[in-house]
Structures are given as C-alpha cells and as structure tokens.
Structure 1
C-alpha cells in the first residue's frame, strides 16, 4: 500500500514510517523542507493549499492511505495552532476525498473534546476542529488520541528526562497528576494496524500505556533509567508552576508552556484504553520501554566518578567540615571566630551559642559525608555554604575583595558538593546494565522492538 505520512521527521511520524516500511508498505515521507521525490513530499500546513491542489498532488503520488502526525505543543511566529492543527489538515483531508484516498488516520491528543473547558485551550480546540472535520467526510477514517508519548525524538520525553536528572526536582503540587505514557513504537504499531485494517473504521480511539502513573512516578522512571540515585522532591504551588511555564515560553524550547501545565493538571488517562485491542496484547510497561530506548535529556547532567575518586573527594570535603569545627571549638579566640560572630551581631552568650550550633552542624556534615552521603545531606551542605558565605559577605564586605579570596573559595566548594550530589548512582540499574552482553545494542536497531520485552506479546514489532 502507498501511504503518505505527514510529519515524518517528528517523534511519532518517524516511528510510523519505520513501522509501515517494516511491514512492506511503500511510504512517502511528508515534512517541511522535504524535497519532492519518489519517497518524499514537501508539506507545510502554514502555507494554504486548496483541496483541489492537494487532490492533484495525492493523485499524482497514487496515495492510498494517509497518516497525519503533524503537531506542535507551542505556537511560534512561524507556526500557529490554527494552521498546523486545523486549517492545514482540513485542506489535506478534503483533498484526500477528491483524490480517492481510501483511509486517513489522524493522530490527535488525549483530552480533545472531553469537556467544555477543553474548548478554551487553543491546543486542544485546534485538534478538535480537525478531528470533527475528518469525521464529517465521506471516506474511511480513524482518530487516535494518545496519552503522553515517550521514546526517541520525543520533545516531551526529553524535557521530562532533563527534569528527572536534576538533583532537586520541582513538582506541580504534590506531583499526583495522573498520566498513562505509551511508547512511540507501540503507538506507531497501533497506527500501522489501523492502516491495514480490513473493513470500515470511522472511530475515535483513546490510547495509553498499561499503567496509570502519578507524574512523580513517571519522573522517577526517567531518573532510574538514567542510573541516577535518589533525588529530593520539591512540591511547588500550581500558580508558581504556571509562572515558571510562562517564563519558559520565552526560552528556545518547544514543550513547557502554560497549556502544558493546564493539560497536566487535567490528567492524561484514557477513559477506555484501546491499546490492548489495537495491538492484540498488553502494551509494554514504561520501565521496560525506557530500558530499550534510554531517556535522552536535553542536557546530560550525569556525573560518573570512580569509587576511589568519590571516596577521595568525600574525604576532602569531610576534612574541611571537621577541621573547621575542631579549630573553632578548641581555639575560639586564636582562630578569630568569636570576633567574626561579633561582627555578625552575635556577642557574649549569643556568640557562644551560635558557635556551638555551628560546630555541631559542621561535625554532623563532616561525619555523614564520610559514612552516609544522601541527597538531603548534599542539599544541606549547599545551604550551609551559601548561608555562611552570604552572612559573611553582608556583615564583612571587605572579605569579598580580600586577595586570598576567603569567600570566593566557597564557589568551587559549592561546585564540589554539587558534583558529589549528581554523582550518586542508582546501583540497581548499573548492576543490571553491567550484566548485559557487551554487543547488545539498545539504540541503533533500525527496527523498534519494545513489544518483545512484554512476555505476553504474541507479535514482535518488526
């Protein structure tokens, strides 16, 4: 079958191209900037084109089926929701009717038309316009509305993997928003099966993975599969997350915006998950999918230290905390610590009390650095370094320009703490990866194989 895949260079589109070609179909890749050739077709929904013009193009290419995977999460000056999600696809769908295309599969989004509130969200409303227009046309059609999609080329997956790799992970609220992620390879397999389906379709399918996860659980999967150790979770009020998303809209990224936060708040769980019926089996769990196609964060923040270097750096850091406490406690006059505390407003008994607390804190930090390093310990050390530095800089500004740099030296100290924090590993994942055959290649296979991980699978996606 000759199939046109629109958005063939994106996350979903590229997977659909692989899925269809692996099943013997002739695929024409449609994308912006593509050359007009035997297996490619330039498609830019921002450029208006009449249905008649589309019919001529589709007829000349002898297209029998069409899959529309084009989508954006954020509008820009060059791309609008109305043109990319609604007007452009509708022109194409009407042209497909005139060209005699047998079937159209539209990749929409979960939450489209779910309630009146979705109409107020430009992203979902623009998707709904195209879905409704397709359903009204005299051809066979299917609309897929997936939950969060992860896997190679996923912009959302890259953002989540980056957030999950941070030592301190911010959560919207308590991170209990419900999602049901599906691997892009299995979404592509479902699309390929719809393209091949015998008989009429004319149906909307909501699709997701096998598990309903809290947003925090999903990030934990991303973190675990990057081999990272435990993290600190920071619940943030939703209004603050919306403000953060608004600021992020000014950055060169394509995922995080106010609409993204709003859709996450609504949840992303199918009312009736069609994945098992479309695939003929239970979809693959997220942990297994990420094991086959490891997360690809926007920035790789992983730090890997050999055991010897890790112990050496921790010993140096512990020595600094313990030495500071020892000198301050045994030689308070000679070390000048009481004079420094007096400059900060702590004199007499108050100065002694602050000195005792400071020494106790330093001893605890040094001892725990040696015997029990944990994420909260590194966070506490960062807070202590910043607190000591800020207090000294405010009350003794001359130390900021001292040629020996007594305060400036705290910057590399802070960097050392951060390195040790980010170097904490998930030893269970490391051990599992170490047990894999050296010639096992999880990334470069041209044929997706996520389904093979599921013991209940009766069909390999190849």
Structure 2
C-alpha cells in the first residue's frame, strides 16, 4: 500500500515510516522540509490549503492511506494549536475524502475525551476537534490516543531523561501522577497493523504500556537506564511548579510549559488499553524498552570516575573538613574563627558554642565523605560550602577580594562535590538485573 506519513521527521512519524517500509509498504514522507530525491511531499499545516488542492496533491502522489503524526507540545509565533492540531488536519481529511483515499489514521493524545478539564487545555481541545471531524467524515478512519511516548527523537523523553540525570530531582507534588508510557516503536507497530487490517475500522484506540507508573517511578526508570546512582527527590508544591513552567516558556525549548504540568496532573492512563490486542502480545515494559533504545538527555550530565580517582577526591575533601575542624578547635584566636563569628553577631560564650557546632559538623562531614558517601552527604556539604561562603563574604567582604582567594577557592570545591555526587555508582542490587536483561537481549539476537 502507498501510505502518506505526515510529520515523518518527528519521533512518531519516523518510527512509522520505518515500520511501514519494513512491512513492504511504499511510503510518501510528508514534512515541512523541501522534498528531496526520496518520495516526499511538502506539508505545512500552518499554511491553509483548500480540500480540492489537497485532493489534487494526494491523487498526484497516488496516496492510498494516510497517517497523521503531526503535533506540537507548545505553540509559537509561527505555529498555533488551531492550525497545527485542528484546521490543518481537517483540511487534509476533507481532501482525502475527495481524493478517494482508503484509510486515514490520526495520532491524537490520551485525555482527549471531551470533559471540562480537557476542553480547557488548548493542546487537547485542538486534537479533539480534529478527531471529531475525522469521525464525521465518510473515510474509513482510526484515532489512536497513546499515553506518554518514549523512544528515539522524543522531545519529552529527552527532557525527562535530563531531569532524571540531575543529582537533585524536583517532583510536582509527591510525583504520584499516574502514567502508562508506551515505546514509540510499538506505537508504530500498532499503526502498521491498523493500516493492514482488513474490513472497516472507524474506531478510537487508547494505547499504553503494560504497567501504570507514577511520575517518580518513570523518572527512576530513566535514571537506572542512564546508569546513574541514587538521587535526592525534592517534592515541590504544584503552584511553584506551574510558576517554573511559566518562566520556562521564555526559554528556547519546546516541551516544558504550563500545559505540560496540567497534562501531567490530568494523568495519562488508558481506560481500555488496546495495545495488546493490536500488537498480538503484551507491550514491552519501560525498563526493557529503555535498555533497547537508551534515553538521550538534552544535556548529558552523567559522570564516571574510577574508584581510585573517586577515593582520592573524597580523601582530599575529608582532609579539608577535618583540618578545618582541628585548626578551628585548637587555635580559635589564631585562625580568626572567633573574630568572624563576632562579626556575624556571635560573641563570647555564644560564639564558642557556634564554633563547637561548626567544628562538629565539619568533623562529621569529613568522616562521612570518606567512609559513607551518599547523596545526602554531598548535598549537606554543598549546602555547607555555600553557607560558609555567603556568610563570610557578607560579614568580611575583604575575604572575597583577597589575592589568595580564600573564598574563591570554594568554587572548585563545590564543583568537586557536584562531580562526586553525579558520579555516584548505581546501587549494586540493580546491576545484576541490567546484566541479566542484556544477556536475554543478546540471546534473542543470536537466536534471530
């Protein structure tokens, strides 16, 4: 069959192109770029195109079926939800009906169900209008509403992988939002099976992975796939997350915005998961899917240190903390610690008490970083370095411009702490499972 794939350069579209070609179908790639030597068709939903014009183009390309994978997560000055999600696809569907196209598949989004909450979200509302227009047409059609999609070229997956690689991971609320991620390759496989399915379709299919995950569990899967160690999880109030999303809209990215947070709160779990029925088997678990196609973060923050180098860095930090505690406790006047505390308002017995507390903290951090390193230990040290530096700079500003740089040297110390924190090894309990998965995959390839 000769199939037009709209949005062929995107995450879903490129996977659909490969899946269709692997099954022997002829594919016409529809994209905004200029057509090249391959079979392509220039498609730009931001520009109006009358149905009759669409019909002529589809007849000329001899298109028998269409898969519309075009979509955006955030509108821009040149791309609006109204044009990209609604008007552009509807013009295409009407042109397809005039051209006698046999079947049209629309990749929509889970949560497009017409309730008051989804209608208030421009992303979902625009998809719903196009879905309804297709269902009302004389075409043989199917609407696919997948849960969160991960895999190669997925912008949201790249964002989640980046967030998961951070040593301190912020969560919207407690991160309990329910999701059922599906791999893009399996979504493409389901689309190919629907293209080939005999008889009339005219149905909506909700698709998801095999298991419902919380947002935190999903990020933990990304983190394990990246080979990162334990992280600290920071629950944030949802109003604060919405504020951060609003600020992020001004940045050069196309994923994180206020609608993204609202979609996450809305949840993404199919009421009736059609994946197994379309695939003829259970969909792949996310851990296995990420093992087959490793995540690609927007910014790769992973770090690897040899055990010897890690020990050397930790030993140097331990020496710094222990020496600071010893010098301050043994020579409080000569070291200037009591003068600094007096400048901060801690004089006399109160100053001594604060000095003892500071020396105890330094002693504990020196011992812990050497013998029991953990995310909490590195976070505590980072906070201590920042706190000591700010306190000294405010109360004794001459230290900030001292030619020996007593405060400026804290910057490389902080960088060393962050490096060790991000290079924390994966918990040993997970390593056998990863090795076992890799062994199974190698066995399957050998059998093939």
Q: TM-score range by the shorter chain?
A: over 0.9
2:339 aligned partner: 339
Query: What do the CA deviations read for 1:296-340 (whole angstroms, capped 9, x no partner)?
Result: 000000111111110000000000000100111122222222122
Q: CA RMSD in A?
A: 1.8
**CA drift at 1:174:** 0.5
3-state SS, counterpart of residue 413 of structure 1: helix
Calculate the TM-score normalised by the size of structure 2: 0.96
Q: Which residue pairs with 2:106 in the alignment?
A: 106
Match of 2:216, SS state, is: helix
Question: What is the 5 A alignment of 1:312-461?
Answer: 312-428=312-428
Q: What corresponds to 1:81 in structure 2?
A: 81
Distance 2:437 2:74 in 1: 39
Equivalence for 2:15 = 15
Q: Which residue of 2 aligns with 1:457?
A: none
Quote how far apart the aligned CAs of 1:16 are: 0.3
CA deviation map 1:83-142 (0-9, x unaligned): 101101000001101111000000000011241221111111100110000001111000
Alpha-carbon distance in 2 for matches of 1:216, 1:338: 45
* CA offsets 1:165-196 (integer angstroms, 9 cap, x no match): 01110100000000000000000000000100
CA contact (8 A) 1:113 1:125 kept: no
| Mapped partners of 2:139, 2:79: distance in 1 | 28
Q: 1:243 offset after TM fit, Å?
A: 0.5
CA distance in 2, matches of 1:419, 1:301: 9
Q: Give the stretch that moved more between structures: 111-120 or 211-220.
A: 111-120
Say if 1:108 and 1:146, in contact at 8 Å, map to a contact too. yes
Aligned residues: 444
Cα offset, 1:262, TM superposition: 0.4
Matches within 5 A, 1:254-333: 254-333=254-333
Q: What residue in structure 1 maps to residue 63 of structure 2?
A: 63
Query: What runs of 5+ residues in structure 2 fail to find an aligned partner?
Result: none
> SS state of the match for residue 421, structure 2?
helix
Q: Is the 8 A contact 2:8 2:29 kept in 1?
A: yes
Pick 1 or 2: higher relative contact order, CA cutoff 8 A, min separation 6: 1
Deviation (angstroms), 1:434:
6.9
Conserved in 1, the CA contact under 8 Å of 2:328 and 2:359? yes
Question: Higher mean Cα deviation, 338-347 or 188-197?
Answer: 338-347
DSSP 3-state at the match of 1:333:
helix
- Map of 1:238 onto structure 2: 238
